[in-house]
Structure formats: C-alpha cells, structure tokens
C-alpha cells in the first residue's frame, strides 16, 4: 500500500503542474480582448439604424424647409415627427454608449496580465496596444458628448419650428449652431475611427508576436 506522505506529495505535484499548465498572461489577454470585441457588438449593431434615422430626419427637415412658414400646420406636424426621430436616435446612441462602456470595463482587466508578461518587447507591445485603446475610449467619450449636444440642438430646432412667431434670424442662428456641432462630430468621429484602426492593427501584431494560434475575425 502506498504511504500517505507519498500520496500527498503526488497530489501536490499535480496541483503545481496544473498551475504551470494554466493559461499564460498572453492567452489571458487574448481571451479578454476577444470578450471586449463581443461586448461591442451592440455598438456595431446601432450603426446602420442610426444612419437610416439620420437620413429620415434629413428628409423631414428638407420637407419643412421647402414648405416654409406659410403652411404652418403642416410644418408643425412634420416637426413633431422629426422630434420623434431624434428621440429614436438618442435611444440608439445611448445603447451604443452602454456597449462601449461595458467593453471599457472589461478591457481594464488586461492591466495585471500585461505586468506578468516576461518578454520585455512583448510587454511593450501590449502596453502600446493598451494606450491606443485608452485613447480610443477617451475619443469616443468626447464624440458621444458632442453627438448628444447635436441631438439637443436638433430638438430645439424642431420645437422652435412649431412657433408661429419664429423669426428668420432665430432660425438661422439655430441652424448655424447645428452645423457647427455636426462639424465637430464629424471631426471627432474621424479621430475615433483612426484609433479603432490602430488598435485593431496593434492587436493583430500582438497576437502574432505572442505566437498565439488564433483565428482573425474578418469583421474587424
């Protein structure tokens, strides 16, 4: 019969080996980054509906401008419809923001794993990827706030258009504010897309450097 202390030593060896055979920091990072990508699925799903709603609102706006205040009753009807569309856009952008913020929270989990990477060059690569993603999140937060401002200005416009005593000066001033706001949104969106592209490239580079046997997601 095997002695107790021998059985205990074998048991301890199994535990130690199990620990050694666990996922490496690089593999943990891979798992986290892929979960981050999945958490952004809702963000991606909002893009096409948002574009459709923007197109619908633009069509309503053009109809209102074509009518002019001489057909006030019809202008009021279309303005109310436009406000509903803006509110739908608000709902989509909030869902988009929730998705990004969930991925941000998950992404923070890679910090400890990066610190545990033994290879200095690989650790540096992971840190660069981390910085790019953090810049991307900051960029998105600025973009989100600007888009919200634009939506608020849009609603103000359509509310103003329901006032029969609205002056041309008031209308022009509001439209100028809206144009400036959307110009800012477009600029910030370009910056966000730039960081997204950089992050995806750096992520693939890290996977290659870490010699991880992974499938590249073509959607990215």
Distance CA 113, CA 126 (A): 10
**Average pLDDT of each block of 10 consecutive residues along the chain (220 residues)?**
43 44 88 96 94 97 90 96 98 97 97 96 97 98 97 98 94 97 97 97 95 60
pTM of the predicted structure, to 2 decimals: 0.85
Structure tokens at 82: 């436009």
Superfamily of domain 23-209, CATH level 4: YkyA-like (1.20.120.570)
User: Cβ(132)–Cβ(202) under 8 Å?
Assistant: yes
What is residue 213's predicted lDDT score, i.e. its pLDDT? 72
pLDDT in tens, 25-65: 999 999 999 999 999 999 999 999 999 999 999 999 999 99
What is residue 212's predicted lDDT score, i.e. its pLDDT? 85
Distance CA 88, CA 3 (A): 72
Domains of the chain: which residue ranges?
A: 23-209
DSSP of 51-114? HHHHHHHHHHHHHHHHH-GGGHHHHHHHHHHHHHHHHHHHHHHHHHHHHHHHHHHHHTTHHHHH
What is residue 21's predicted lDDT score, i.e. its pLDDT? 57
DSSP letter at 212 equals -
What is residue 214's predicted lDDT score, i.e. its pLDDT? 67
Residue with tokens 């923007």: 54
């Amino acid at each position: 019969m095997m002695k107790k202390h021998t059985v205990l030593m074998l048991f301890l060896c199994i535990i130690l080996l199990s620990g050694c055979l666990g996922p490496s920091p690089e593999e943990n990072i891979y798992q986290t980054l892929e979960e981050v990508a999945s958490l952004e699925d809702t963000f991606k799903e909002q893009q096409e509906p948002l574009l459709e709603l923007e197109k619908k609102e633009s069509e309503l706006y053009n109809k209102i401008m074509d009518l002019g205040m001489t057909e006030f009753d019809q202008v009021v009807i279309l303005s109310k419809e436009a406000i509903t569309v803006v509110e739908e856009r608000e709902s989509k952008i909030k869902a988009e923001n929730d998705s990004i913020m969930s991925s941000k929270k998950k992404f923070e989990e890679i910090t400890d794993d990066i610190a545990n990477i033994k290879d200095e060059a690989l650790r540096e690569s992971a840190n660069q990827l981390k910085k790019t993603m953090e810049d991307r999140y900051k960029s998105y937060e600025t973009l989100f706030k600007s888009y919200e401002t634009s939506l608020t200005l849009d609603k103000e416009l359509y509310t103003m258009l329901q006032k029969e005593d609205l002056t041309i000066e008031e209308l022009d001033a509001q439209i100028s504010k809206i144009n400036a706001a959307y110009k800012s949104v477009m600029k910030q969106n370009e910056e966000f897309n730039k960081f997204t592209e950089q992050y995806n490239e750096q992520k693939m580079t890290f996977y290659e450097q870490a010699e991880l046997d992974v499938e590249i997601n073509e959607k990215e």
